[in-house]
Structure 1
């Protein structure tokens, strides 16, 4: 049985199942082990981690009367928070003022694939220039930001979803592309004007440029970082700011590059800012950065399912993220983002292919598997928001438990 407890109640003899927070935010090599070493306990107590999950079936339980939260309770609360965020966002955030001609998902995925390829090439070039000590000109990326913005205006899900698909080799570069796409989409859902949307996209594209100053053996290490290596990586926002401060980058975007790892509770870095001390654009970048990081595969850990990632982020939101902006992000992505594996009321499994306008709980899906017969079935597109549709999503599913090798192809191959 899993229980979530505050780290102050963590003792030797407990089985540590998971840290509460992105694995990118802590330097520990392991996340599941019996806590037997007093030094490990000291490291956890001294870290910025507030809560952990313990497995009481494999180690000691908390003392009687100690506050803890069960997995079922945590899931129910996260689900309620997401539902509330979706309901609040639907009425609280205005639609963007400028719209492009809508584009079907399949058609826009083809355009998005070309934009992703061009954007990756541009980011690779910028990182190369930075490594060589040359000045980087953000103005060179403005045409790409315009293309991204137009794509998202035509169909919000295509570019955002396609940019999530990346290999370990191109993670650093495609992460910048993905965060830029997420930032543009979030800014549009917040009703920002076109200039602000472009500034947000530029911040996303440039936010990790400081990683160009990281030693390649640390940046591309196929495993968890040591404490010393983690400290080196935590310096990348400062490097980003130093490299871009004289580049002509908009001051708001420059600030986001420096402060996108700050947290609302003041435990972030590099300046341990909290609450309103963190700029809106930096708070937006923090949300988009974490979402793409935890949904992406890394050499040492597979990314979480998009829907599961939102649920995890909802658990951390009170400490990590701006509540209003996270609500807007939920509306941007949908309760079940594109690529999520879900179970329908009929017992069939489906992958989410596209959001339905004004129906965050009823996206469009591709049904492809019957849990009753335990067999693949001919893929079928289904709009759960269509009047008369009797199917509905009853649960998220963990892709790791099913191991469908073509899950991404089921929603992306037709367009890409």
Structure 2
């Protein structure tokens, strides 16, 4: 990414986000600048500085017009009453009901698919495609709602929730990268089904809390191969099958089960491998606590460039945020809060919901704080684990976040 003053914005550039402005502006969409009028509107709206993606810059023809390319429309600005995160059309509270309904539907659909396979039947992929479309619609309305729900982890529901969370997170990531919506749907569908092959792995290996033996590890490696076969038998192909088959492959060829190398792994597979590992590391399991996002990010960065695409890891961290929505944080005042709204332009100043006083070890009246507000004197100190203060974060989510 590259930051530019608005007077240096040129035709053909891809605007990723607004980084400085005089007023309170909402950008309706990311996209290519195709007319001078688009630039003029941004200037008139009070935008001073933007972030562009140089890799997506379009070329100009002889008439000094950008070469047409199927993509989202150019960015447009509109004034709003209050600050909204990048690329949102609904508030988190307005989107949360729909997001929660989608998540519940996804868990039911996953369970049915596992039952179908156990019964020797092919899975019906159409409902998964429709669900993926619903995820994408929700992400484009306000990604923070679904992102928050992905943090409500049940320890005994990993097999169901992991694929759902990967689908949601990769949809958010793909939107951040400016990928076309029809491609995002293929990506999200593949992510929803990427671990379906685990149904063919014995439970004593799949749920083993300790270290796997070499023989057990070889057995579990086959789940990606099984996922590929199941999806192909169900009529899926292309990107969705690639993600299911290759999400454990690594750039240096050390992955499994096919031992593919970097030049054989598409952008979408590289994205899936990053998101898959991130969600697995941050997941609550019966036999292990979930890792804080910032520690998971470090592991991903340490895996570059041998295992993961370094540029994509950096963009994923930018997309999800240092303290993702749903993260429990401690403020310098010793108050505990949950991050409820992301702040792409100032990641260390999100909006939070305060509910606990760590100094006095007691719950307090729940209230919202925008750390980016100039009148706010609170600062974020660190992300923390709920277990550090014996807090049932799932219970808090259900009573205070969900409608």
Instruction: Tell me the TM-score range normalised by the shorter chain.
Output: 0.7 to 0.9
* Counterparts of 1:345 and 1:246, CA distance in 2: 55
Q: 2:347 aligns with which of 328, 337, 360?
A: 360
Which of 125, 128, 149 is residue 112 of structure 2 equivalent to? 125
Flag the 1:308–1:377 CA change in 2: closer, same or farther, 3 A. farther
Deviations 1:176-231 (A, max 9, x none): 11111112111111101111110110110111111121123333445554433222
Whether contact under 8 Å (1:307, 1:340) holds in the other structure is no
Shift of 1:383: 0.8
- Relative to structure 1, the CA distance from residue 254 to residue 406 in structure 2 (aligned partners, 3 Å threshold; closer, same or farther) is closer
Select the structure that is richer in helix: 1
Tell whether 2:57 aligns with 1:97. no
Distance 1:337 1:207 in 2: 23
Aligned CA distance change for structure 1 residues 314 and 340 (closer, same or farther; 3 Å)? farther
CA RMSD of aligned residues (A): 2.7
Give the match for residue 144 of structure 1: 131
**Residues 376 and 102 of structure 1: is their aligned pair in 2 closer, same or farther, counting only changes over 3 Å?**
same
Q: Give the counterpart of 1:288 among 275, 283, 290.
A: 275
User: What is the correspondence of 1:11-410 to structure 2 with a 5 Å cutoff?
Assistant: 91-92=52-53, 97=72, 102-221=89-208, 223-406=210-393, 409-410=396-397
Gaps of 5+ in 1: 1-86
Structure 1 Cα separation of the partners of residues 398 and 277 of structure 2:
23
Aligned counterparts of 1:215 and 1:364: Cα–Cα separation in 2: 44
Q: Aligned pair in 2 of structure 1 residues 294, 408: CA closer, same or farther (>3 Å)?
A: farther
Q: Which moved more, 1:224-233 or 1:285-294?
A: 224-233
SS in 1 for 2:121: coil
Structure with the larger RCO, 1 or 2 (CA within 8 Å, 6+ apart): 1
Distance 1:135 1:410, change over 3 A: closer
Count matched residues: 328
Give 3-state SS (helix, strand or coil) of 2:289's partner: coil
| CA distance 1:407–1:171, change in 2 (3 Å) | closer
Contact preservation (8 Å) 1:208, 1:257: yes
Deviation, structure 1 residue 331:
2.3
Q: Which string of whole-angstrom CA distances, capped at 9 and with x for unpartnered residues, describes residues 64-105 of structure 1?
A: xxxxxxxxxxxxxxxxxxxxxxx9x954388x8379972221
TM-score for both structures, normalised by structure 2:
0.73
Q: 1:105, 1:155 within 8 Å by CA — same for their partners in 2? A: yes
Q: Write the deviation string for residues 259-307 of structure 1: whole angstroms up to 9, x where unpaired.
A: 1011223321112223332211111111111121112111211111334
Please say which of residues 145-154 and 379-388 is displaced more in the overlay: 379-388
Q: Distance in 1 between matches of 2:335 and 2:185?
A: 41
Give the drift of 1:111: 1.3
For 1:362, what is the secondary structure of its paired residue? coil
Superposed structure 1 runs of 4+ greater than 6 Å apart = 98-101
Name the CA shift for 1:101/1:309 in 2 (closer, same or farther; >3 Å): closer
How far apart, in 1, do the equivalents of 2:392 and 2:304 lie?
32
| C-alpha distance after superposition, 1:22-79 (max 9, x if no partner) | xxxxxxxxxxxxxxxxxxxxxxxxxxxxxxxxxxxxxxxxxxxxxxxxxxxxxxxxxx
Work out whether residues 195 and 244 of structure 2, in 8 Å CA contact, stay in contact via their aligned partners in 1. yes
Cα–Cα, structure 1 residues 91 and 361, in superposed 2: closer, same or farther, change >3 Å?
farther
Offset of 1:138 from its aligned partner? Answer: 2.0
Aligned-residue offset at 1:238: 0.7
Of residues 111-120 and 308-317 in structure 1, the stretch that sits farther from structure 2 once superposed is: 308-317
